[in-house]
Chain A
Amino acid sequence: MGYTDAAKNNWRPWRLEITGLVKQPARFSLAELRSMPSRTQITRHDCVEGWSAIAKWKGVPLTEIMQRVQPAPEAQYVVFYCMDTDGSGVHYYESIDFRDASHPQTILAYEMNDRALPVDHGAPLRLRIETQLGYKHAKYIRKIEFVRSYENIAGGKGGYWQDHGYAWYAGI
């Protein structure tokens, strides 16, 4: 089933796959993610282009997922794989380290401004990593992988934008 069909079915067919260096790989439905402890935060999104916007986000803290899947000691990074592609058909992806993954404001958001996350903003699930610039906030997430290194993933720089010259660390 494609993205549009899944959206029309309220994301019932969609699953978030958690894989890689974890003791308990998992697949969570959107309903399961919504049933987990959540965090709501009104934060500012700062884009590398120079604009900013404030929105209210609700989602499951990434630490909740980590507690359930139990990353292995050798895992160093969390990689987010996205369903959307660029004009050439290359999938977006992004990665963060454990310090940012463990940050209390790092959440997998499924609501924006008290409504289900819109398609334009990455439905059904997007990353909010409030300590970094907007291009790190992966949208349309389908899979999360815990890895020792991102060097063997795609262009090897830790993210789509990084493979195209952006800095991996975009702290603000």
Chain B
Amino acid sequence: MNQSRRHLLFGAAQGVGLLLLAGCEKVFNRLHANQKFLSLLESAEAVNQRVQRWVTRKNKLVQEFTEQEISRYFKPNGQPTSKYDGLH
């Protein structure tokens, strides 16, 4: 395959990819605005919870690690602009 045909195919693939992404965003936005779809997702969450709790023995301990496995860096996640609203 010569270079110009390769470039043409690569460019076409990029174009198709972008079109697909744009289409996905439209589909996503439509689904996000659809109450029936959102209700379906919420019901899936409930199923997920029931299934996980059914297969997991109550009070089963999660894996614990050794001191040597402690991470050198633990990202202090959260909002960088978070503020502390005093004490109550």
Contact = CB atoms under 8 A, between A and B. Distances in A.
A37 interface: no
Given A45-B74, A55-B74, A87-B81, A104 B62 contact: no
A142 interface: yes
A43 B63 contact: yes
A165 B83 CA distance: 22
Contact of A171 (B49, B78, B83): B49
B45 to A, nearest CB: 5
A69 interface: no
Contact of A44 (B63, B76, B84, B85): B63
B65 A42 contact: yes
Task: Report, as a range, how many residues of chain A touch the other chain.
Answer: 35 or more
Contacts of A102: 59
B87 A14 contact: yes
Given A42-B70, A44-B63, A54-B70, A83 B49 contact: no
Contacts, number: 107
Interface residues of chain B: helix, strand, loop or mixed (majority) = loop
B63 to A, nearest CB: 7
Task: Report, as a range, how many residues of chain B touch the other chain.
Answer: 20 to 34
Contacts of A44: 62-63, 65
29 contacts: A3-B87, A14-B87, A15-B87, A42-B69, A43-B63, A43-B64, A47-B75, A53-B74, A54-B65, A54-B70, A55-B71, A55-B74, A83-B84, A84-B79, A84-B82, A86-B81, A99-B53, A99-B58, A103-B59, A104-B59, A104-B61, A120-B78, A121-B74, A130-B62, A131-B56, A131-B62, A134-B77, A167-B45, A171-B53
Interface of A: 1-4, 6, 13-15, 17, 41-45, 47, 49, 51, 53-56, 83-87, 89, 91-92, 99, 102-105, 112-113, 118, 120-121, 130-131, 134, 139-140, 142-143, 167-169, 171
